[in-house]
Amino acid sequence: MVEQKVYLVRHCEAEGQAASCQLTEQGEKQADSLRGFFSEQRVDQIITSPFERAIQTILPTAQEHQLDLYVADDLQERKLSSENLPDWMERLEQTYQDFELKITGGESSREAVGRGLKILTDIKLSNNKATIVVSHGGLISLILNHFDPSFGFKEWKNLTNPDIFEINLTRREIKRIWDQ
């Protein structure tokens, strides 16, 4: 059986949350650190969220490995609500306790993780041994929860920008590998 790894990457520091937000100056330095980190790793393909901060995060790595970026709408950040929620943090926490909870104009945790898992299923069906997937904290935490149900709201809050988790699809194991 061929071992398949996914490097699940949270984007670097950005100027904001909108899809068009750019990386900060610090975020650009972090993207270069990621390039250095991945220069020692096998990388067969890179799939990224369409959000600008995700693309900018992984572009130096793609150039280093001479790989094209595959942009996947399914990797965009989870939409909590279409409304401005003053208590959004509490509402978000509730979505980790009730995966069916759907707030006005948003998507449930179950719906969001379903998008992410479609990408992982496609990877599993491919011949690629090492894939980088770049996304956002909310979606990444839900994907990690699929593999480890103890990964929840508190762990989401402890994610860094950037962050990297290695998922061994063959053995269904996850581990955090970013410590900078």
* Domain locations in the chain as residue ranges: 1-76, 78-126+139-159
Do the Cβ atoms of 59 and 34 come closer than 8 Å?
Answer: no
Give dist(CA 10, CA 29) in Å, integer. Answer: 15
Tokens standing for residue 141: 């935490």
- Full-model pTM: 0.96
Quote the pLDDT of residue 156.
Answer: 97
CATH 3.40.50.1240 fits 1-76, yes or no: yes
Tokens standing for residue 81: 């609500």
β-pairing verdict for 163-168 and 45-48: unpaired
Quote the pLDDT of residue 1.
Answer: 64
Give dist(CA 69, CA 172) in Å, integer. Answer: 25
pLDDT tens, the chain, 180 aa long: 678 999 999 999 999 999 999 999 999 999 999 999 999 999 999 999 999 999 999 999 999 999 999 999 999 999 999 999 999 999 999 999 999 999 999 999 999 999 999 999 999 999 899 999 999 999 999 999 999 999 999 999 999 999 999 999 999 999 999 976
Quote the pLDDT of residue 2.
Answer: 73
Amino acid residing at 90: E
Give dist(CA 10, CA 136) in Å, integer. Answer: 5
Give dist(CA 107, CA 159) in Å, integer. Answer: 21
Quote the pLDDT of residue 111.
Answer: 97
Tokens standing for residue 128: 């690629």
Amino acid residing at 120: L
Quote the pLDDT of residue 179.
Answer: 79
Q: Where are the alpha helices (DSSP H) in the chain?
A: 25-38, 52-65, 88-97, 109-125, 137-147, 153-157
